């Protein structure tokens, strides 16, 4: 059941000031303008953008009133993963999670994150059980019937990945396109489509988590896999045996937020928040922080000395 959210004007004003600080400066300021005049112009700019944001926030309906419910699949460093703290407790981390918090704050909503496997993110959106999906989602055309996509907030690429010992052996689509070669991809992902398009004769293995794919590659149970380039590079920092053998072309490159189909006010609010996070440097910082954290020694999905995924 959807209920309308009544936006608190205080929150809307706070959100608006982010936009205003983010650079909606008056287009022309003559050298002769006095400081007072400039201030007056800025105040007007701020006021009108406060009005705009208030209008956007007031129109937004969410699954649970007052909350922004976000589905994610935390097997995808540096986008989303569990960083294990000093005390051993896993903490949901990654730049998608920081951006999710930013968007919730921007819209004056409380953030609620639902963790599922990646194909679950798609179905949660399809059944409109969540408001948005943030999981390094590619705005693939065939998903457009079940969700709307925000503007892009990150540009990535795709790679074919194996281990160093096999780098010579599995270095092209031809080399892996054989029934005896096992090639992995995450269930429901565009990497699965890439596997089917580029290596249809291979033994294609779909696994629910990218961390399982990494584990299978490292333990020699899988020969090669299609993985997003920056994700593969992130896991490679902890597992230098991994190697990216080639770039894989894909035509809907970049990551977007999946928004519950037809919720136009939310889509507009999310796009505004993304623009603000780009403008004020937050997004850049989230990406840098996540990269650093994911290169640390502890996060879920790392293998123990027996090659088993730690949970
Ligand atoms: N970009 C790919 C897709 O949209 C893979 C995303 C996987 N995300 C994740 N959190 N495991 O299909």
Site to substitute for ligand 1 among 138, 158, 161, most atoms within 8 A of C-beta: 138
Q: Which residues pair with 154 in a beta bridge?
A: 255
Q: Look at residue 297 and tell me whether its pLDDT is greater than 50.
A: yes
* CB of 136 sitting under 6 A from ligand 1: yes
pLDDT of 24: 32
pLDDT of 198: 98
Residue 24 Cα to ligand 1 middle (Å): 34
The most confident of 16-20, 44-48, 180-184, by mean pLDDT: 180-184
* CB of 228 sitting under 6 A from ligand 1: yes
Choice among 6-20, 80-94, 184-198, 212-226 with the minimum mean pLDDT: 6-20
Site to substitute for ligand 1 among 70, 81, 189, 208, most atoms within 8 A of C-beta: 189
Q: Band of the pLDDT at 89, cuts 50, 70, 90?
A: confident
Work out the percent of the chain whose per-residue pLDDT is above 90: 72
> Dmax of the chain from CA atoms?
76
pLDDT of 44: 47
Query: How many Cβ atoms are within 10 Å of 123's Cβ, its own excluded?
Result: 16
Residue 193 Cα to ligand 1 middle (Å): 12
Over residues 63-84, the pLDDT tens digits come to 999 999 999 999 999 999 988 8
Across the range 248-269, mean pLDDT stands at 97
pLDDT of 85: 74
State which ligand 1 atom lies nearest to the alpha carbon of 72: 10
* CB of 76 sitting under 6 A from ligand 1: yes
Q: Band of the pLDDT at 13, cuts 50, 70, 90?
A: very low
Across the range 51-65, mean pLDDT stands at 72
pLDDT of 56: 56
**Gap between the Cα atoms of 136 and 145, Å rounded:** 18
Residue 189 Cα to ligand 1 middle (Å): 5
pLDDT of 271: 98
pLDDT of 83: 87
Query: How many Cβ atoms are within 10 Å of 51's Cβ, its own excluded?
Result: 13
pLDDT of 309: 46
Q: Band of the pLDDT at 202, cuts 50, 70, 90?
A: very high
- Rounded to the nearest 5 percent, the helix, strand and coil shares of the chain are 40, 25, 35
Work out the percent of the chain whose per-residue pLDDT is above 70: 77
pLDDT of 49: 52
Angle, helices 9-21/35-58, rounded to nearest 10 degrees: 130
Query: Among positive and negative, which fits the CA dihedral 231, 196, 182, 300?
Result: positive
* CB of 137 sitting under 6 A from ligand 1: yes
Q: Band of the pLDDT at 27, cuts 50, 70, 90?
A: very low
Choice among 191-205, 245-259, 293-307 with the minimum mean pLDDT: 293-307
Across the range 37-66, mean pLDDT stands at 62
* CB of 75 sitting under 6 A from ligand 1: yes
Q: Look at residue 38 and tell me whether its pLDDT is greater than 50.
A: no
| Phi, psi (degrees; rounded to nearest 5) at 276 | -65, -40
Closest CA to 78 of 206, 296, 231: 231
pLDDT of 59: 81
Q: Look at residue 14 and tell me whether its pLDDT is greater than 60.
A: no
Over residues 132-150, the pLDDT tens digits come to 999 999 999 999 999 999 9
**Gap between the Cα atoms of 236 and 232, Å rounded:** 6
């Amino acid at each position: 059941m959807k209920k309308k959210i009544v936006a608190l004007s205080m929150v809307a004003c706070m959100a608006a000031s982010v936009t205003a600080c983010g650079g909606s400066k008056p287009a022309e300021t003559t050298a002769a303008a006095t400081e007072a005049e400039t201030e007056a112009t800025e105040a007007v700019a701020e006021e009108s953008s406060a009005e705009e944001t208030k209008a956007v926030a007031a129109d937004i309906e969410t699954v649970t009133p007052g909350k922004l419910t976000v589905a994610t699949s935390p097997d995808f460093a540096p986008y989303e993963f569990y960083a294990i703290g000093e005390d051993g407790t896993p903490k949901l981390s990654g730049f998608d999670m920081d951006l999710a918090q930013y968007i919730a704050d921007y819209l004056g909503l409380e953030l609620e994150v639902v963790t599922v496997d990646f194909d679950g993110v798609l179905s949660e959106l399809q059944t409109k059980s969540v408001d948005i999906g943030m999981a390094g989602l590619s705005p693939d055309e065939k998903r457009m019937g079940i969700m709307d996509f925000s503007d892009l907030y990150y540009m990535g690429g795709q790679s074919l990945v194996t281990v160093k010992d096999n780098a010579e052996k599995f270095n092209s689509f031809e080399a892996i396109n054989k029934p005896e070669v096992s090639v992995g991809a995450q269930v429901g992902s565009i990497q699965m489509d890439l596997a089917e398009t580029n290596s249809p004769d291979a033994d294609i293995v779909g696994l629910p988590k990218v961390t399982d794919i990494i584990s299978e590659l490292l333990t020699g149970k899988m020969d090669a896999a299609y993985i997003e380039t920056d994700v593969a590079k992130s896991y490679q920092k902890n597992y230098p045996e991994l190697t990216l053998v080639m770039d894989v072309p894909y035509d809907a490159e970049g990551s977007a937020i999946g928004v519950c189909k037809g919720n136009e006010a939310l889509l507009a609010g999310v796009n505004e928040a993304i623009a603000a996070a780009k403008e004020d440097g937050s997004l850049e910082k989230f990406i840098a922080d996540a990269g650093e954290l994911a290169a640390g020694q502890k996060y879920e999905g790392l293998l123990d000395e027996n090659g088993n995924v730690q949970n």
